[in-house]
Amino acid sequence: MKPLRMADGPGGARFWAVGALVRAVADALASRFNPVAVQGEISGFSRAASGHCYFSLKDDAGQLRCAMFRRAAEQVGFPVRDGQRVQVQGRLDVYGPRGDLQLIVESLRLAGQGSLYEQFLQLKAALQAEGLFDAERKRSLPTQPRHIGVVTSLGAAALRDVATALRRRVPHIPVTVFPASVQGAQAPAELVAALAAAAAHQGPRGACDVLLLVRGGGSLEDLWAFNDAAVVRAVAASPVPVVVGVGHETDFSLADFAADLRAPTPTAAAELCAPDRRQRELELERLQGLLRQGVQDALDGRAQRLDRLAAHLGRPSARLAQAGEQLARWQGRLHKGMALAVQRQHWRLDELQARLPPALKRGLDARAQRLRRAEDSLALLDPRLVLQRGYAYLTDPQGQAITRVAQALPGTEVQATLADGVLPLRVRGPGA
């Protein structure tokens, strides 16, 4: 855009439009400085919902507003936060609506740690290619651990945080500390040895069924022991599930990726492996209520079934009375059947007599007389005739005939079968 000139201005002065001047300054900056690399401390960092990031770079002598759009922000391999010293590359521009000078950041890395961070990324890629970070090999933590192991430095603040959390949540669970340095050249070897000792531990409290690998926050150099390949492989190879809580929430180490579970802080690591005691008590109360209700329902069901069976069975005396009546009916049917059979024999004999010669007729008459005598004898044996004369026969509850006084003890329930039915009785005293 060309500058505007007022023809009647004093001395022929030129007047710029604001936007045109801002754009001209931006063009001048771009041609003079871009691309530009700047080092400074991050201040006022924020990330918008769009994914774009905004912050300032500052040092003792000045401050520069920066904008890092989402595509560039996604290429940063670590959490960005205030106070970090970083090196950025980008291009200077002027934000027209406000006339602010700003740096459009196209790449960002930690200052003084560029080569170290590159090592981090290279080692991460190599270990990931070995399958050490695969989700399929991650194991679940025990829902109710019986013995917790902690790998850390005895002087670390992280140990105090973990001990406080475990004492508050699960004071009944034993905890064993396996000491190791968490910083310095000797730390990787000590961490590997401590993890191996924890996995093989068999003390009076039993083996550990979960391990916590923890330390407090620090710089990338401070946490570098947890990026050591030997430590990462030891975490991945541990036969006991491992929870890693190293640094603050925004800190990441390669041991985090190999662990069965990554915790944002040491305290969070302790809380993840130790269920809250009150929650467990509430769960036990709920299960106890379900068990009590289940037992009560089962008892109620059995009681109803017993009632149905009792109603179907009835009292034994009633069952015996029904059996006696049934027996009497069968005796009546037997008597009638016998009488009918004899009558049919008489009819048959009468037919034969009419057809036979007199000699045979006399023989038949003699047999008929014998048949009648047998019939009379059989009739005399009919128990109903005896019962009709006022007699009865007694049986015990098992249906056995009572023939002696000794079989009928006081209090015994007996059945008396009469001519017209069964009468239940109880013996009141000894027989005379």
- What is the pLDDT, as a whole number, of residue 266? 93
pLDDT band at 2 (very low <50, low <70, confident <90, very high): very low
Question: Cβ atoms within 10 A of the Cβ of 76, count?
Answer: 16
SS3 assignment for 66-79: EEECHHHHCCCCCC
**Is residue 250 situated within a structural domain?**
yes
Domain with 59 in it: what CATH number? 2.40.50.140
Question: Cβ atoms within 10 A of the Cβ of 180, count?
Answer: 26
| Domain match, 343 and 420 both | yes
**Is residue 311 situated within a structural domain?**
no
Q: What is the DSSP letter of 12?
A: G
Q: What percent of the chain has pLDDT over 70?
A: 87
| Domain match, 375 and 255 both | no
Say how far apart CA 47 and CA 55 lie, in whole Å. 9
| Domain match, 12 and 90 both | yes
CB 212 within 8 A of CB 245: yes
Q: Which domain holds residue 366?
A: 316-426
Q: Which amino acid is at 393?
A: Y
- 349, HSE (Cβ side, Cα atoms, 13 Å): 19
CA 276 to chain centre: 16
Encode pLDDT of 40-60 as tens digits. Answer: 888 889 999 988 999 999 888
**Is residue 131 situated within a structural domain?**
no
| Domain match, 199 and 261 both | yes
Say how far apart CA 202 and CA 165 lie, in whole Å. 24
Encode pLDDT of 292-347 as tens digits. Answer: 888 888 887 887 888 788 776 656 666 666 777 777 788 778 778 777 877 777 77
Question: Cβ atoms within 10 A of the Cβ of 346, count?
Answer: 13
**Is residue 123 situated within a structural domain?**
no
| Domain match, 271 and 320 both | no
| DSSP characters over 98-151 | TTEEEEEEEEEEETT-HHHHHHHHHHHHHHHHTTTT-GGG--PPPSS-S-EEEE
Query: Residue 355 to residues 351, 360, 364, 368: CA-CA distances in angstroms?
Result: 7, 10, 12, 16
Q: For the chain, how many structural domains are there in total?
A: 3
The mean-pLDDT minimum among 34-48, 50-64, 72-86, 346-360 falls in 346-360
Say how far apart CA 214 and CA 229 lie, in whole Å. 17
| Domain match, 149 and 105 both | no
| Residue showing tokens 């109603």 | 311
| Domain match, 397 and 323 both | yes
Cβ-Cβ contacts under 8 Å for 244 (sequence gap 6 or more): 213, 214, 226, 235, 253, 255, 256, 258, 259, 261, 262, 263, 269
Structure tokens at 261: 């579970």
Residues belonging to the chain: 432
**Is residue 432 situated within a structural domain?**
no
**Is residue 137 situated within a structural domain?**
no
The pTM assigned to this predicted structure is 0.46
